[in-house]
């Protein structure tokens, strides 16, 4: 598919060798899929001319994070990524997750890894497929799905006011395994404070009670919004 390009540009084997220095074979294959659709030749030209970290970040932005994933709309502004600063609020809007001592028994350090800090996001108002979106109603469960997050007073010391802005209410969701692009349902994730120092723990170290996964209430039906 490189017929007609200038002789100074790289051949297919050259491109493969160059990309394998930056990416795993699976990602290199995805870039070649994008090259198949590169009618203008711009992508081929960039790969030929750019090098090192610049090329790596260019392809991540241009190709790898933009490719359509199952159930995920391309460049959908409602998708949530690991770089988005977010808040987690009850779907009814009355209570906001606060992982500080204001609302939890104990603040948990970001380094603490347990069943109660390894979490999955599941959709409650539709199938748990594709990307997590800001207008979906979701539940946040532990990895084995026995317990879930409750932002009400059954679990928290007090309800977090929905307008309260602090390090403990401004959060990031991070994957705990490899992955890229928008966050997807059922991935194992952690919820961290904006500064990165603290982490959501839904167990009794931090909460008054571990809330069973079967408990459905206003406080377990949540929305994730970008800040």
The 10s digit of each residue's pLDDT in 113-169 is 999 999 999 999 999 999 999 999 999 999 999 999 999 999 999 999 999 999 999
What is the signed CA dihedral for 208, 209, 213, 214, rounded to 10 degrees?
-110
| pTM more than 0.75 | no
Nearest to 15, CA basis, from 38, 40, 39, 45: 45
Alpha-carbon 110 to chain mean position: 17
- At residue 4, the pLDDT reads 43
Pairing of strands 188-193, 119-123: antiparallel
pLDDT at 121: 98
Which is nearest to 145 in space by CA: 174, 108, 119? Answer: 119
The alpha-carbon radius of gyration of the chain (Å, integer) is 21
pLDDT given for residue 30 in this prediction: 87
Q: According to the model, what pLDDT value does residue 8 have?
A: 56
Please list the ranges in the chain whose pLDDT falls under 50: 1-7, 68, 71-73
């Amino acid at each position: 598919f490189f017929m007609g390009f200038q002789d100074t540009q790289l051949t297919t084997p050259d491109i493969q060798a160059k990309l394998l220095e930056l990416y795993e074979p699976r990602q290199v294959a995805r870039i070649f899929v994008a090259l198949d659709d590169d009618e203008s030749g711009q992508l081929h030209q960039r790969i030929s001319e750019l090098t090192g970290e610049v090329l790596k970040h260019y392809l991540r932005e241009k190709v790898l994070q933009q490719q359509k994933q199952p159930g995920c709309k391309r460049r959908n502004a409602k998708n949530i990524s690991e770089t988005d600063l977010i808040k987690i609020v009850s779907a009814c809007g009355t209570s906001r997750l606060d992982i500080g001592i204001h609302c939890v028994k104990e603040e948990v350090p970001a380094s603490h890894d347990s069943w109660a800090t390894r979490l999955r996001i599941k959709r409650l108002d539709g199938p748990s497929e594709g990307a997590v979106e800001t207008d979906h109603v979701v539940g946040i469960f532990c990895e084995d799905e026995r317990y879930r997050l409750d932002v009400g007073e059954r679990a928290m010391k007090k309800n977090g006011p929905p307008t309260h802005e602090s390090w403990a209410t401004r959060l990031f969701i991070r994957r705990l395994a490899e992955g890229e692009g928008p966050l997807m349902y059922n991935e194992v994730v952690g919820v961290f404070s904006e500064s990165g120092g603290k982490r959501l723990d839904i167990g009794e170290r931090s909460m008054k009670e571990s809330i069973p996964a079967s408990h459905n209430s206003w406080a377990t039906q949540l929305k994730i919004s970008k800040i």
